[in-house]
Structure 1
Amino acid sequence: MSFPIADWPDLPAALIAEVRDFVRIDHQADDAAIDAFVRSAASLCEDFTGQMLIARSVTDMLPARREWQKLKRLPVQSIVSVEAVGADGIAAAFAVEDYALDIDSDGIGWIRLHRSDGGSRIRVAYSAGLATDWDELPAGLRQGIVRMAGYLYANRDGVDAGGPPSAVTALWRPFRRMRMA
């Protein structure tokens, strides 16, 4: 469920400083490496929890069906547009009365077409994420990311101290969303 690291919003300097403090370094020479480790740790957190951390724009391609379909990323904040995509790749917006949308209490986004115009796919653009920025991220997730980034920094030379700290999964587990296929 991970997004490419390049899709992450800029990291605040305070988050880099948190990791620096955690690993007890007092220089900024490794800030670029710490930035990369924080991004990797955040991506691992998303994979583990099954939820996007920071709200970002997402586009799903789904089959054009008349039954309810789930959007792929969680938690959905808003659904922006629905388009029919023809076999030639040309997209055309659906009229609002041609589909129904829902975001349930679990943050799962749903879409259903009222009619099909012969297109085989639909493109749904939406926003998903737990927080709008790093400062709004729940403390347990943020602390787990700091700890994981610190672990990656400390073991960057390939010397493994026995695997990631179990405290990381303990901090992330309350936020974990399991999805059944």
Structure 2
Amino acid sequence: MDLQATSPIPPSALPVAAFRDHLRLSSGFADGATEDALLEQYLRAALDSVEGRVSRALFLRDYTLRLTRWRDEYAQVLPRAPVADVTALTLRDRMGAQTVVPADRYILQADGARPRIVAAGTALPTIPTRGTVQIAFSAGFGAAWDDIPADLRQAVLLLAAQYYEHRDTGGAQDMDFGIRALLERWRDIRMGGRA
């Protein structure tokens, strides 16, 4: 499985001013742009860490998922939630020839925690031998910082602050308890081999 974000979070969407206020930093100094770039770096690191921990995209953006086989012939779970749309499903054979699967052959079940693509008929399209399938989809709570649930926003700010405060010591060992507590209700609990 290979998951790639194909549209990055634009710098204008990042809450640099809110993060600066959270840290109680002064503003208006000559090196403000340098400080803002550093704050943006810690915010991006915290966003990536939180998204990885809860398997959810916070900001709405595009992804591609490349697979060599389906996990189940009838359905495939997508690794990021909440999914807004599946834009394309493309089969590629070992020689690189591509076939776009018609949208009426699959259905998006946009479950908040475990979104998946389900076959419209008896099975998902067959992936060519030594070939791949590429699923293009968009996922996230929204394009703006305020679209993200408040507890996840708070976890991002707290984790970015933790990174900022430990920048000279190589970083903290683990997320603080308060951050983990904020993320706990968003974690996906998996049981068994096919759950």
Task: Output the TM-score relative to the length of structure 1.
Answer: 0.81
Q: Equivalent pairs: percent with the same residue?
A: 23
Instruction: Give the CA RMSD over aligned residues.
Output: 2.9
Quote how far apart the aligned CAs of 1:81 are: 1.2
- Map 1:102-181 to 2 at 5 A: 102-106=108-112, 107-112=114-119, 113=123, 116=126, 118=128, 120-158=131-169, 164-180=175-191, 181=193
Which of 36, 40, 46 in structure 2 is aligned with 1:35?
40
Question: Structure 2 CA distance, aligned partners of 1:115 and 1:161?
Answer: 46
Task: Tell me the equivalent position of 1:49.
Answer: 54
Question: Structure 2 CA distance, aligned partners of 1:159 and 1:80?
Answer: 41
Gaps in structure 1 of 5+ consecutive residues: none
Conserved in 2, the CA contact under 8 Å of 1:81 and 1:124?
yes
Question: Structure 2 CA distance, aligned partners of 1:47 and 1:117?
Answer: 28
Quote how far apart the aligned CAs of 1:116 are: 3.6
Question: Structure 2 CA distance, aligned partners of 1:148 and 1:11?
Answer: 20
Gaps in structure 2 of 5+ consecutive residues: none
Quote how far apart the aligned CAs of 1:151 are: 1.4
Question: Structure 1 CA distance, aligned partners of 2:125 and 2:3?
Answer: 33
Deviation per residue, 1:34-90 (Å, 9 max, x gap): 100000011111111121111211112232674222222222111111122111122
Q: 1:92 to 1:44 in 2, by over 3 A?
A: same
Instruction: Say if 2:11 is the partner of 1:10.
Output: yes
Conserved in 2, the CA contact under 8 Å of 1:82 and 1:122?
yes
Conserved in 2, the CA contact under 8 Å of 1:38 and 1:146?
yes
Question: Structure 1 CA distance, aligned partners of 2:41 and 2:172?
Answer: 20
